[in-house]
Amino acid sequence: MKEVRRHHEFIRVNHFRDLVEAAGIPTMMRNEHLVHGVVEIPIPEFYPNLCVMNDQDYKEACSIFDQALEAEKTHPGEELPCPECEENNPAKSAECVACQTPLKSPKPC
Ligand SMILES: [Zn+2]
């Protein structure tokens, strides 16, 4: 068994788990029962994390997870993810609601 990714929002890990399992990869979630919703304690050890049962599925599972995460980030406008803790903030926030890190608006290329 190998850990793929961890994230502080259970609902996302659960969503990505569905995607990975849809690709035929058996998975297991750790810390699933420890949290409900968003982890309030910023300690990654407590974050829900997705594992693959078979190590050879690791790369594929990672790429599915990353693509899904990337797809969420590229949705324009609505939310601004914090670079420090990945909390999603309203698009016009000046600082992160969770950790007060200053947020920058994405610059046009
Ligand atoms: Zn933050």
Give this prediction's pTM.
0.60
CA atoms of 52 and 60, how far apart (whole Å):
10
**Mean pLDDT over the full length of the chain:** 83
Does the pLDDT of residue 38 top 80, yes or no?
no
Do both 84 and 46 map to the same domain?
A: no
Tell me the one-letter amino acid at 2.
K
CA of 42 to the centre of ligand 1 (A): 10
CA of 76 to the centre of ligand 1 (A): 19
Do both 99 and 46 map to the same domain?
A: no
Q: Tell me: the pLDDT tens digits for 8-30?
A: 888 888 888 999 999 999 999 98
Do both 81 and 69 map to the same domain?
A: no
Please give the pLDDT value at position 3.
Answer: 95
CA of 109 to the centre of ligand 1 (A): 24
CA of 84 to the centre of ligand 1 (A): 5
Do both 27 and 68 map to the same domain?
A: yes
Do both 60 and 7 map to the same domain?
A: yes
Do both 22 and 69 map to the same domain?
A: yes
In the chain, the number of structural domains is 2
Count of alpha carbons within 13 Å of 21, Cβ hemisphere only? 12
Do 41 and 86 touch, CB atoms closer than 8 A? no
Do both 33 and 47 map to the same domain?
A: yes
**Residue 50 belongs to a domain with what CATH number?**
3.30.70
Please give the pLDDT value at position 26.
Answer: 97
The strand ranges marked E within the chain are 2-6, 27-30, 49-52, 79-81, 88-90
Q: Tell me: the pLDDT tens digits for 74-93?
A: 665 577 888 899 888 887 78
CA of 25 to the centre of ligand 1 (A): 32
Domain that holds residue 88: 77-109
Nearest CA to 36 out of 6, 64, 17, 8 is that of 8
In this prediction, residue 40 has a pLDDT band, given cuts at 50, 70 and 90, of: low
Q: Provide the residues around ligand 1 (an ion) whose CB is within 5 A.
A: 82, 84-85, 87, 96, 98-99, 101
Please give the pLDDT value at position 57.
Answer: 97
Average pLDDT score over residue span 80-109: 80
